[in-house]
Chains A and B, each alone.
Chain A
């Protein structure tokens, strides 16, 4: 253990075959699988708008983005599997509700503007988090994050572009984007997880350099990045307490409704049941394809052996 922590202090990367404390392995499995599940469930709110995208340009973009989310889920699943857990078990933990995914995906996408705001806020927040995780101590996780960060900037920019076009449009379009911003702002801030004082896993994760920065630090970085972006396109953020603090050189913001956060985590968000039901039926419907592919492979290997 002393040698393990000494390696972390020297900034070394831990690889799958290296010795690691069971707790480190467990924490990583929990965190990485939660992250992978979030990418997979995250396809649902956006997939909802693929057939209704307002132009071909928006539609190919949204298709590419949703495909990326699937790819990102797969990068992280394969990283998680290096810790000694099988894909079957990971999928099962998601479908049975044993494993969590990001609470943000339990909110509905009511209008087209939601697709813009998700790219801008949700992917923006994810980039802040993932840029930190690209330096995590576990090699396969860090490498998956580097790959994801390279691809994800497009997600944020296309979302911000949608918002800036709507914000410069008709009154109805301006109202639509402002309404979406109002609904997604606070849940996006909750994405960074509980405040440092309330975060049960944080201290250990930081000590083992799984995380390099605290939830509150990352949340503040996201707020500081986003406020000028909102001003630039003339939308307002729904927080009367939001104001620049010249002393700290950060934007102070109002209190987060943590009751809402814990309600959504517990399964009582607007879409928790719908999301899990959609994943389960996709999995069950896919059984046919999995079985057919396996049968085809058996037949082919029998034919080549003959």
Chain B
């Protein structure tokens, strides 16, 4: 379906979709906030500012065309992530230290 097909008789465009990531404070990670429609990257940044940064806090915004996001498939989650699930030796609790000694 082309983007305009759903709009019935109205010839309309709501512009391409962009995903928005905001950083709420210095040193914090950028986190997915939502999405906006915009004609280009600069416009997407402006719209993202208006929609997701109306109140203090946000110090940086990333925008990326939604179609450029590559995501893992939910059905692959098992085989994709289980190599990380059976390696207790990657956690500090796996290792014994003499009683009464502080190591961290």
A and B co-occur in one complex: yes
The residue from A79, A89, A147 contacting B7, defined by CB atoms under 8 A apart: A89
Cβ of B46 to closest chain A Cβ, rounded Å: 11
Among listed A201-209, A239-247, A296-304, interface-contacting one:
A296-304
Chain B residues within 8 Å of A144, by CB: 34
Q: Which of B52-79 contact A (CB under 8 A)?
A: 52, 54-55, 71, 73-74
Chain B residues within 8 Å of A79, by CB: 34
Cβ of B42 to closest chain A Cβ, rounded Å: 9
With the chains together, A68 CA to B12 CA distance in Å? Answer: 25
Cβ of B41 to closest chain A Cβ, rounded Å: 10
Contact B54 A71 (CB under 8 A): yes
Is B51 at the interface (CB under 8 A from chain A)? yes
Task: Count residues on chain A whose CB falls below 8 Å from chain B CBs.
Answer: 34
Is B8 at the interface (CB under 8 A from chain A)? yes
Chain A residues within 8 Å of B33, by CB: 147
Q: Contact string, A81-92, partner B, CB cutoff 8 A, digits 1/0?
A: 100011111011
Contact B8 A74 (CB under 8 A): no
Instruction: Output the residue of B4, B36, B54, B73 with the most chain A CB within 10 A.
Output: B54
Chain B residues within 8 Å of A143, by CB: 34
Contact B12 A92 (CB under 8 A): yes
Would A96 and B74 be within 8 Å (CB), given that A68-B54, A301-B40 are in contact? Answer: no
Chain A residues within 8 Å of B12, by CB: 88, 91-92, 287, 290
Is A9 at the interface (CB under 8 A from chain B)? no
The residue from A17, A68, A78, A301 contacting B35, defined by CB atoms under 8 A apart: A78
Q: Which residue of chain B lies nearest to A87 when distances are taken between CB atoms in the complex? A: B14
With the chains together, A67 CA to B49 CA distance in Å? Answer: 13
With the chains together, A17 CA to B36 CA distance in Å? Answer: 19
Is B6 at the interface (CB under 8 A from chain A)? yes
Contact A92 B6 (CB under 8 A): yes
Is A293 at the interface (CB under 8 A from chain B)? yes
Chain A residues within 8 Å of B74, by CB: 15, 17-19
With the chains together, A217 CA to B52 CA distance in Å? Answer: 32
Q: Which of B24-43 contact A (CB under 8 A)?
A: 33-37, 39-40, 43
With the chains together, A79 CA to B32 CA distance in Å? Answer: 12
Is A95 at the interface (CB under 8 A from chain B)? yes
Residue pairs across A and B with Cβ atoms less than 8 A apart, 27 shown, are A17-B73, A17-B74, A19-B74, A71-B52, A74-B34, A74-B36, A81-B17, A81-B35, A86-B3, A86-B14, A87-B14, A88-B6, A88-B10, A89-B6, A91-B7, A92-B8, A92-B12, A96-B8, A143-B34, A151-B54, A290-B14, A293-B39, A293-B43, A294-B39, A297-B40, A297-B43, A301-B40
Question: Which 5 pairs across A and B sit closest by C-beta, in order of nearness?
Answer: A89-B6, A297-B39, A87-B14, A88-B7, A78-B35
Residues of A within 8 A of B (CB): 15, 17-19, 64, 67-68, 71, 74-75, 78-79, 81, 85-89, 91-92, 95-96, 143-144, 147, 151, 287, 290, 293-294, 296-297, 300-301
Residues of B within 8 A of A (CB): 1, 3-4, 6-8, 10, 12-15, 17, 33-37, 39-40, 43, 50-52, 54-55, 71, 73-74
